[in-house]
């Protein structure tokens, strides 16, 4: 019996060619696995195509709920953001895809794992680091990194092997989508000195075309988890879907950035992520109301580290798990409601309330209700500023 290889399958040309190429080159049976993490596609069509082009079995896994429950909730707790702008949705989903592949490989007795990533990106790293952690004995095939075919050769190969090649004008862009966002690369986007063309965007209207009236959305959180929209209880998957469309109508969540890939390349990236933008704005705002200052400040450092680790594909590592234990502890008081104003591309938290609020009106007010004893500040500052005073007295005044 031939060895089996489980391939992460997208239904696109590259991974369709990969099915055939792996089977022929390595003399193995290929099992295609497509995973639904909230990209709205014809998954039955994708499944059927996998078999048609030569997989011995083609499987679709609906992982939307798991993606929300195990990955997005942690991303929210840690305010996942890479290089200040990218909510890292592709990076977040890769370990889940790889994890599902490994699970199926075990069930089917497969010894090989494969993905369609090129050798220039981050995704190959994320897949393979996850394989290494979860299935250290399994071998890896990365056809797009190995086959050395040009686009034209790949199309010839597809035609020779009865693999359907998309007809009509091919989109100039390369995209990746899940419920937390959509990425757009290639084509004219590769020239960072040019503004991105309007046709790159699909989820969001141009802020210039957005309604003149703002839309207010109120998001309820319980221990860091978003649980309601405008007062109505809602499951996470549904909530994210709703905010993607509402935010998209207001042009919210467009990102245009230069990004440092793990493999050393700088790339120009476009993202649209309305729901993630709104939820993270609301979540950070609620944290600013309920977290004590020291926890809040320290958490920012760990968020930076956590985000970098997720971007680098280090999900299944002890440090990520340990950092998540910290994040999870900090989320205990993060319950309440935040109202976010969506207006011409902006999402801004404008009002918030919580039973866990640490805001004390009688301490903050400059009005009659003030109970803060201003006379204690004198002694506090004297001691707080003492090190600076000592330095000046010993070494002279600063330049
Ligand atoms: N630059 C982003 C990242 O590394 C997006 C990658 C999109 N991946 C893709 N195969 N199109 O996470």
Structural contact between residues 362 and 369, judged by C-beta atoms closer than 8 angstroms: yes
For ligand 1, atom 1: residue with the closest CA: 269
Angle of helix 386-395 relative to helix 376-384, nearest 10 degrees, comes to 50
The conformational region for residue 181 under phi > 0 = left, psi -120 to 50 = alpha, else beta, is: left
Q: Quick one: pLDDT at residue 171?
A: 84
What three-state secondary structure class fits 62? Answer: strand
> Please, are residues 284 and 340 in contact by the beta-carbon 8 Å criterion?
no
Q: Determine the Cα–Cα distance for residues 19 and 367; give it in Å rounded to an integer.
A: 72
Q: Which atom of ligand 1 is nearest to the CA of 82?
A: 12
Q: Which residues line ligand 1 (CB under 6 A)?
A: 90-91, 122-123, 174, 176, 183, 185, 259, 269
Helix and strand element counts for the chain (H, E): 15, 14
Q: Which of 94, 126, 254, 268 is catalytic?
A: 94
d(CA 148, CA 89): 29
Ligand 1 centroid to 375 CA: how many Å? 56
Domain limits of the chain? Answer: 4-66+79-168, 180-291+333-353, 361-395
Helix (H, G, I), strand (E, B) or coil at 360: coil
Residue 206 to residues 190, 263, 269, 346, Cα–Cα distance (Å): 20, 32, 17, 11
* CATH assignment, 180-291+333-353: 3.90.1260.10
pLDDT at position 170, please? 75
Q: Is 94 a catalytic residue?
A: yes
At 348, list the tokens: 């801004």
Place of tokens 């989820």: 203
Please identify, in words, the CATH class of the domain defined by 4-66+79-168. Answer: alpha beta
Q: Catalytic annotation on 174?
A: yes
Residue located via tokens 């793990």? 262
Residue nearest to atom 7 of ligand 1 (CA): 176
Please check whether residue 203 is in contact with residue 293, taking contact to mean a CB–CB distance below 8 angstroms.
no
- Mutation to probe ligand 1, out of 8, 86, 176, 189 (largest number of atoms < 8 A from CB): 176
| pLDDT per residue as tens digits for the range 140-193 | 999 999 999 998 899 999 999 999 988 777 789 999 999 999 999 999 999 999
Pairwise CA distance, residues 210 & 213, whole Å:
9
Q: How far apart are CA 30 and CA 57, in angstroms?
A: 7
As a whole number of angstroms, the distance between CA 339 and CA 259 comes to 31
The helix (run of H) or strand (run of E) holding residue 159 is helix 151-160
Q: How far is the CA of 90 from the centre of ligand 1 (A)?
A: 6
As beta bridge partners, residue 279 has none
To which residue do tokens 């086959």 refer? 147
Find the catalytic residue in 29, 123, 176, 285: 123
Q: Note the pTM of the prediction, 2 decimals.
A: 0.97
Dihedral angle, C-alpha 324, 327, 328, 330, nearest 10 °: 160
**Under-50 pLDDT residues of the chain:** none
Atom of ligand 1 nearest to the CA of 259: 1
Residue with tokens 């609301």: 282
- Tell how far the Cα of 366 is from the centroid of ligand 1, in angstroms: 50
CA distances from 222 to 239, 286, 307 (A): 14, 11, 22
Candidate CATH numbers 1.10.150, 1.10.540, 1.10.3470, 1.20.5; the one for domain 361-395: 1.20.5
């Amino acid at each position: 019996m031939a060895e089996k290889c489980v391939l992460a399958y997208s239904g696109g040309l590259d991974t369709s060619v990969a099915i055939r190429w792996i089977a022929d080159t390595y003399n193995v049976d290929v099992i295609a696995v497509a995973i639904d993490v909230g990209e709205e596609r014809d998954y039955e069509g994708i499944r059927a195509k996998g078999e048609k082009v030569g997989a011995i079995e083609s499987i679709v896994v609906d992982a939307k709920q798991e993606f929300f429950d195990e990955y997005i909730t942690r991303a929210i707790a840690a305010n996942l953001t890479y290089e200040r702008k990218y909510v890292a949705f592709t990076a977040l989903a890769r370990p889940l895809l790889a994890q599902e592949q490994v699970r199926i490989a075990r069930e089917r007795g497969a010894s090989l794992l494969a993905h369609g990533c090129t050798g220039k990106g981050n995704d190959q790293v994320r897949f393979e680091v996850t394989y290494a952690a979860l299935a250290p004995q399994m071998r890896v095939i990365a056809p797009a990194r190995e086959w050395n075919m040009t686009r034209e050769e790949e199309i010839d190969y597809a035609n020779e092997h009865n693999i359907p090649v998309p007809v009509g004008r091919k989109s100039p862009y390369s995209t990746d989508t899940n419920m937390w966002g959509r990425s757009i690369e290639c084509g004219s986007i590769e020239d960072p000195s040019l503004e991105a063309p309007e046709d790159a965007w699909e989820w969001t209207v141009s802020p210039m075309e957005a309604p003149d009236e703002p839309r207010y959305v109120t998001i309820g959180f319980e221990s860091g988890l978003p649980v309601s929209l405008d007062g109505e209880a809602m499951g996470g998957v549904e909530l994210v879907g709703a905010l993607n469309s509402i935010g998209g109508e207001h042009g919210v969540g467009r990102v245009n950035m230069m990004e440092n890939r793990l493999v050393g390349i700088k790339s120009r990236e476009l993202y649209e992520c309305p729901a993630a933008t709104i939820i993270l704005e609301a979540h950070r705002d609620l944290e600013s109301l309920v977290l004590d200052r020291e926890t809040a400040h320290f958490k920012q450092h760990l968020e930076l580290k956590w985000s970098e680790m997720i971007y680098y594909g280090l999900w299944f590592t002890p440090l990520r798990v340990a950092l998540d234990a910290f994040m999870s502890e900090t989320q205990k008081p993060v319950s309440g409601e935040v109202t976010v104003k969506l207006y011409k591309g902006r999402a801004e938290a404008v009002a918030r309330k919580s039973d866990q609020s640490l805001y004390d009106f009688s301490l903050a007010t400059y009005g009659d209700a003030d109970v803060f004893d201003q006379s204690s500040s004198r002694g506090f500052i004297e001691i707080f500023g003492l090190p600076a005073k000592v330095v000046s007295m010993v070494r002279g005044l600063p330049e």
